[in-house]
Amino acid sequence: MFLLSLLSTASFARSEPFESVERYTVTATRPYYDEALSRIFPQYAFDKSSLVSPLHANDVLLQSPSISLNGQGGQIQSISVRGFSRWRIQTLLDGVPIVSDRRAGSSIGFIPPDFISSATVIPGAASTYLGSGAIGGAVNLQFESLLEPHLRVSYSSNQQMKAVSYAGTSVADGSKNGVNRTEKLGDTDWNISYRSANNGEDAKGNTLFDQFEQTGLFLRHRAENSIIKEAWTLYSDNNDIGKSSSDYPKSRITTYPNNTHWLGKIAFEANLFAGNIWWHKSSLDTSVLRPDSRINDSENKAFDYGLNINTDIRLKDWELNWQLQLSGREGVVSDEREFTLTPSETVLTDSALSDFSLGSFESDLAYEVRTLDASEVNTAIVVDTSRQWRSLSLALGARIDWQQQSDDSGASPTQSNDAQPSNAQPSNAQPRRSQSITNFSGYLGANYQLSSHWAASVYVSSAFRNPSLTERFFAGETPRGTVLGSIQLETEQALNKQLTVAYSAKHIQGSIEVFHQQIDNYIERITVAEDVLQYANLDSATIEGVSYQVSWQSQDNTLDARLSGMRISGEDNLGNNIADIPANNQRLDVGVNWQDTRFFTVLSYRASKTDIADGERALSDVFTLDIGADWQLSERVQLQASWSNLTNQHYYTSADDKAAFAQGESVQLAITYQL
């Protein structure tokens, strides 16, 4: 959520973020709480002005110093926000939550990058507005507000990635309403995308298992003189996705044969009320081949849905907003099958590491078991208020949240074969287990205008994270061994404190943020037997650090630059390092605008990392350099080119001990024709 005006990279969400905000009428396209949050600290939006298609959707987010890659690589690479990752951050697409049952967390790789216009990042605890999944922050991807008809063709050399997208629109006749075409919203617009990629290579020419094929369709309709203001839907079909891992290809080859998503949102407004109805149906198939040993296949399905209604009122000088939320997950199912291979008859082709084939062999079904069958429902009430006294702005909010999680496996007996793993459920129906949880969260923030350009703010927020359905009820095999859930898990609780100093002038803007967040009842997998892990509550953990962003534009807009970075650390109450804390980073973006051409370069530095946790490896420091250009050849034709990892650096994508190396140098080309 947290939709802001579409802005250039690294600009403030508002041109003058510290002045008073005028009251606005509630609409379905802008969350009501933007006003409250923008009073107390600057917010940033990131666009694609220094990026060239084809790219990964994560590339838009990585422009924020708070965002780092996490876990293993490939098309479904996940991210972290200020050291929080997996189920501790909330990912949204135009306000629609993207929830995943993978422990690595949700990935936005299924969203064609051509569909995305910009992204906002909310670092720090945000449970008051977004609930359990936002204990460590949130990211929200946004569509183009108005699609212009175009055809785009692009190519990336490293993976031989080929991409084509077509956007169209049906616009009402402006002459009927006396409105210019450029000022009107299209009645209906759409975008179709197709991308395919082979396996890429790292800087030393080693094969990376990051192949994929993707087809996407986006359709949106805006109505006039109707309660329904906007409705959109997106369908994405992804096939033969490789998991880029250091295990490939000798010890483990993980493929996602199918990954489909169908989601959408209906925004409505009536009198003083506005709201949204959304849904997301997803499925993910996983196949893990352990050469000369076995194959583990799993099928995961889920249907997520939600409704929110909000309004605002004025009480004297206070803006009071409230929202009612209802969401749920149904049919969260995971089915697993294991096949035993005869080692002497298993053949792995030598012709190419980018693919494999099993020759003449016998595969025996060892077992078939349902490892997860669960559902949940969630209701919440959110209230916030804000006001301004001359140089002082104040905002506060609170949430009461109730959730019920249910193990539905008792109502659906397990289907098994002759053999089952020791952790498999028995074939007879089990009593239905459920867990009800009530949580409270809130925040308090204040901003003081020190001068016409300087402001300081303090922000304190509490947050919570209920155990996921997987953490509670899952029992089955994963690439790291047998994993068991626990119904005894307690809710994670967090307290986030943030101090911000910001500067805003005509040609330079920036902010520096110091943050500290403590989590109690931290949930992690622990070893309970050989090759058996179980989710359990640890005592507590602390993550703290500092981040900054500074942007500058020349008076004639010929030059622009942006410098950003983050320094962060995290440990538990015993002083042990916790997982997923990224290495410190710095980034410099420079752009030159000359006539109809824009040149840009990105210099990134990732420091070394030696304070690692279990399941991680030490990282060496690395500099990477990207360059690119954007030419407007004519009124209708735009040409883009870039050269990423120009110096062909060889480095791991993250500290995960299963992470593969990053792609080596690559050239991207794209041409866009306005129809």
pLDDT at 19 over 80: no
Strand order in 523-529's β-sheet?
A: 475-478, 481-484, 532-537, 523-529
Task: Let me know: does 2 contact 138? Beta carbons within 8 Å.
Answer: yes
* Host H or E run for residue 613: none
Question: Which stretch of 51-65, 119-133, 399-413, 583-597 has the lowest confidence by average pLDDT?
Answer: 399-413
Q: What is the mean pLDDT of residues 149-160?
A: 95
Model confidence band, residue 653 (pLDDT cutoffs 50, 70, 90): very high
pLDDT band of 34, cuts 50, 70, 90: low
Lowest mean pLDDT among 18-27, 114-123, 532-541: 18-27
Q: What's the length of the chain?
A: 675
Q: What integer pLDDT is reported at residue 57 of this predicted model? A: 84
Averaged pLDDT score across all residues of the chain? 84
Give 541-565 pLDDT, tens digit per residue.
899 999 999 999 999 989 999 999 9
DSSP E strands in 171-211: the ranges are 188-197
CA nearest 209: which of 156, 261, 237, 250? 250
pLDDT per position as a tens digit, 350-405: 333 334 445 545 778 888 989 999 999 999 999 998 888 889 999 999 999 999 99
pLDDT of residue 360: 46
What is the 8-class DSSP label of residue 469?
H
What percent of the chain shows pLDDT beyond 70? 85
Which residue is listed with tokens 């420079």? 590
Question: Residue 621: which pLDDT band, with cuts at 50, 70 and 90?
Answer: very high
Higher pLDDT, residue 216 or 16: 216
Respond yes or no on whether the N-terminal peptide bond of residue 54 is cis (omega within 30° of 0): yes
Q: Higher-confidence residue: 186 or 499?
A: 499
Are the CB atoms for 283 and 335 separated by under 8 Å? no
Mind giving me the DSSP string for 247-286?
A: TTTTT-EEEEEEEEEEEEEEEEEETTEEEEEEEEEEEEEE
Query: Residue 35: its pLDDT value, please?
Result: 61
pLDDT single digits (tens) 304-329: 999 999 988 888 888 888 999 999 99
Give the pLDDT confidence score for residue 420 in this predicted structure.
Answer: 40
Region of residue 179 (left: phi > 0; alpha: psi -120 to 50; beta: else): beta
Residue 481 vs residue 178, higher pLDDT:
481
Q: Report pLDDT digits (tens) over 245-266.
A: 888 888 889 999 999 999 999 9
Cα dist. 640→7, 152, 154, 483 in Å?
A: 20, 11, 9, 47
CATH pick for 11-674 out of 3.50.50.60, 3.40.605.10, 2.40.170.20, 3.90.550.10 = 2.40.170.20
* pLDDT higher than 90, residue 126: no
Average pLDDT value for residue range 136-164? 92
User: Residues 230-258: what's their mean pLDDT?
Assistant: 93
pLDDT for res 105: 82
The predicted pLDDT at position 40 comes to: 78
How confident is the model over 606-614, as a mean pLDDT? 91
What's the confidence (pLDDT) of residue 36?
Answer: 65
Predicted confidence at residue 101, as pLDDT, reads 86
pLDDT class for 214, splitting at 50, 70, 90? very high
**Pair 206, 660: CB distance under 8 Å:** no
**Tokens at residue 551, please?**
């942007």
Q: Which of 544, 624, 654 is nearest to 80 (CA)?
A: 654
The set of residues, in sequence order, having a beta carbon less than 8 Å from that of 278 and lying 6+ positions away, is 95, 96, 97, 263, 264, 265, 266, 305, 306, 307
Which residue has tokens 């790292």?
202
3-state helix, strand, coil in the chain (%, to 5): 5, 55, 35
